[in-house]
Structure 1
Amino acid sequence: MSRSLLSPGELRERAGDVLLHHVAGPTAHEKRARIHGAPGPRWFGPERPVRVVHADASMYVGGLAALLLQSLHPLAMAAVAAHSGFQGDPWGRLQRTSTFLAVTTFGTAEDAARAVERVRRVHASISGTTSEGVPYRASDPHLLGWVHLAEAECFLRAHLRYGRRPLDAAGQDRYVADMAQVARRLGVERPPETRAELTALLAAYRPELRATPESRATARFLLSEPPLPAPARVPYAFLAAAAVELLPPWARAEVGPPRTLRLILPLARPGGHAITAALRWVIPPPPVPTG
């Protein structure tokens, strides 16, 4: 008689494959093998904080929080809404973003440089006008700076709250400095090098940030209408609550989470810890580098 129930090991492997397929695409295992296993120098050595942060399951919370925070800059949000195919192809955008982060953090220097150049070419081709008549360019260093700040802040916040081994103060400064290396290559001018500089620059952008119809539509899509099967909706709701709760209070108010999500916000932190623990259990370890 054949077995009808999966063993814990088989369940873990199947869940990990499904997750990787959604986050990194149908060739996830091949991508991971090249990114982590290809011989050659890297931009960041194994001891660097950026590798510690970006390898942790807390990135799932931080990544969602970063999308919500980035959407509060009207020009950045207009560019995303008009050109990224976010709602039409959400998994594709997630896969491109996760692959870029993985390649620049863990991949060879040659592959990382190629990934940056591809992004710069895409940015150079994107321009337009907001619904309020304000022109924008995706290659604008000021807009690139905002996207970078939101990512660095949210990735670091999520790591400190949900990471397996949170960085100390010196490690946080080194993480911000690591992120600045990639930001400069993407065209950001004078990115922050320390945690204090990151906080100060975020405050400097505050007068430019507000909710728009496009940002509200994005928040509704990310928080209420994710393209997920029914069994995944409950754990995703707690992941989304953890991401919203991670935001500064002013940003949380601008995002305006849906009522159903507001009801579970008191459970956001225990739910976030449970979700990141589950993700650590199902995500297979990366391949061991060959050189």
Structure 2
Amino acid sequence: MLHEVRTRVIDSVRGMFAHAETPLLRTGEFEGDPGLCGPGSVSWRVIGDVSVFVGGIRALLIQAAHPEVVAGVEDHSRYRDDPLGRLSRTSFYVTTATYGAMPEVVEAIDKVRAAHGGVSGTSHRGQAYSASAPELAAWVHNTLTDSFLEAYQRFGGRLSVEEADRFVVEQMRVGELLGASPLPATAAGLRAWITGHPALAPSPGMRNAIGFLKRPPIPPAQRVGYLVLMNGAITTIPRRLASVLGVVAVPGARVAAVSLILGLRRVMSNSPAWQAALERCGTPYDPRLFRDQHPGMAQ
């Protein structure tokens, strides 16, 4: 009975991320390659935890506060028609950039840069935008980094100031390959840059994006859990950003999110991509800490 429940939960969550290529399929071919981060990194610990689900939703919410960034999404993305596809592609990119061998990392980042190449236009306030512009790429990258870190700190495990800064520096390497700039080098500096960003303001694209994120067209079996995670994410958004976004968490949101994350952690354990990366690097690990074998692992 418990095994059946565990399988249903894992399949339900996995189904939300199964609309794009599976990351690290060939990672076993790059034996000994630590990639950008490596086995001793903070990034492998943070991104491998189930709190990453909260971090991903938080990043999407915060990214909508930048009128030019959200205009690019509104004008060029198919997120309304294919929300799970967009979610899966983002997951593929984050997972590969964090755990992949360097050839896999470079390939994933090249795909993102190519996709951003044609994304340009003018926002509702008359400002030109280009997804390839270093400052707009920085907004997307930096909010992802800050959100994964904040979600882990609130719902995962506690990192020291030094460990949090190490995570930011490790993720900076991804941002540099993307051509993003500026890239603050400390957790405190990153948060200050995001909360004090002068470009932030409400916009029609923001209201559309927030409305969509509050009511995404996902299967009923996944919707309740998603809403708990989304409201948990809202509780972590700094006051100025929440005011711009116009978001307020429902009562009891943090307690509900903590309970759900604890349950998911017990059922799902850690990311199989982390396990595959450890295998590739020849690093000993306890297989009981991971939920199943990754296709890219040595058989």
The TM-score range, normalised by the shorter chain, is 0.7 to 0.9
User: How well do the aligned residues superpose, as a CA RMSD in angstroms?
Assistant: 2.0
Q: How does 1:191-202 map to 2 (within 5 A)?
A: 191-202=183-194
Contact conserved, 2:124 with 2:203, CA < 8 A, in 1?
A: no
Q: Which moved more, 1:142-151 or 1:169-178?
A: 142-151
TM-score by length of 2: 0.85
Q: How does 1:92-171 map to 2 (within 5 A)?
A: 92-163=85-156, 165-171=157-163
Structure 1 residue 250, shift from structure 2 partner = 1.9
Give the whole-Å Cα distance in 1 for the aligned partners of 2:84 and 2:199.
29
Q: How does 1:71-110 map to 2 (within 5 A)?
A: 71-110=64-103
1:219 maps to 2:210: yes
Q: In the alignment, which residue of structure 2 is the partner of 1:18? A: 12
Residues 235 and 19 of structure 1: CA distance in aligned 2, closer, same or farther (over 3 Å)? closer
Contact conserved, 1:35 with 1:103, CA < 8 A, in 2?
A: no
Aligned residue identity for 1:238: V
Residues 198 and 48 of structure 1: CA distance in aligned 2, closer, same or farther (over 3 Å)? same
Secondary structure at the aligned position of 2:111 is classed as: helix
Give the whole-Å Cα distance in 2 for the aligned partners of 1:195 and 1:73.
20
Q: Which runs of 5+ in 2 are unaligned?
A: 283-299
Structure 1 residue 239, shift from structure 2 partner = 1.1
Contact conserved, 2:36 with 2:170, CA < 8 A, in 1?
A: no
Structure 1 residue 49, shift from structure 2 partner = 0.7
- 1:209-244 deviations in Å (ceiling 9; x for gaps): 011111111111111x21223343332222111111
Q: Which runs of 5+ in 1 are unaligned?
A: 1-6
Aligned residue identity for 2:173: Q
Give the whole-Å Cα distance in 1 for the aligned partners of 2:189 and 2:244.
24
Give the whole-Å Cα distance in 1 for the aligned partners of 2:166 and 2:98.
14
Structure 1 residue 65, shift from structure 2 partner = 0.8
Residues 26 and 281 of structure 1: CA distance in aligned 2, closer, same or farther (over 3 Å)? farther
Give the whole-Å Cα distance in 1 for the aligned partners of 2:21 and 2:60.
24
Q: How does 1:36-51 map to 2 (within 5 A)?
A: 39-41=31-33, 42-51=35-44
Aligned residue identity for 2:183: P
Secondary structure at the aligned position of 1:266 is classed as: coil
Residues 48 and 24 of structure 1: CA distance in aligned 2, closer, same or farther (over 3 Å)? farther
- 1:86-145 deviations in Å (ceiling 9; x for gaps): 111111111110000110111111100111111111212211112333211110111111
The structure with the greater share of residues assigned to helix is 1
Q: In the alignment, which residue of structure 2 is the partner of 1:229? A: 219
Secondary structure at the aligned position of 1:237 is classed as: helix
Aligned residue identity for 1:144: A
Give the whole-Å Cα distance in 2 for the aligned partners of 1:27 and 1:141.
27
Q: Which moved more, 1:209-218 or 1:127-136?
A: 127-136
Give the whole-Å Cα distance in 1 for the aligned partners of 2:28 and 2:47.
13
Aligned residue identity for 1:18: S
Structure 1 residue 256, shift from structure 2 partner = 2.2
Residues 100 and 252 of structure 1: CA distance in aligned 2, closer, same or farther (over 3 Å)? same
Give the whole-Å Cα distance in 1 for the aligned partners of 2:5 and 2:21.
20
Identity of aligned residues (%): 33
Secondary structure at the aligned position of 1:57 is classed as: coil
Contact conserved, 2:195 with 2:240, CA < 8 A, in 1?
A: no
Residues 19 and 162 of structure 1: CA distance in aligned 2, closer, same or farther (over 3 Å)? same
Contact conserved, 2:119 with 2:130, CA < 8 A, in 1?
A: yes
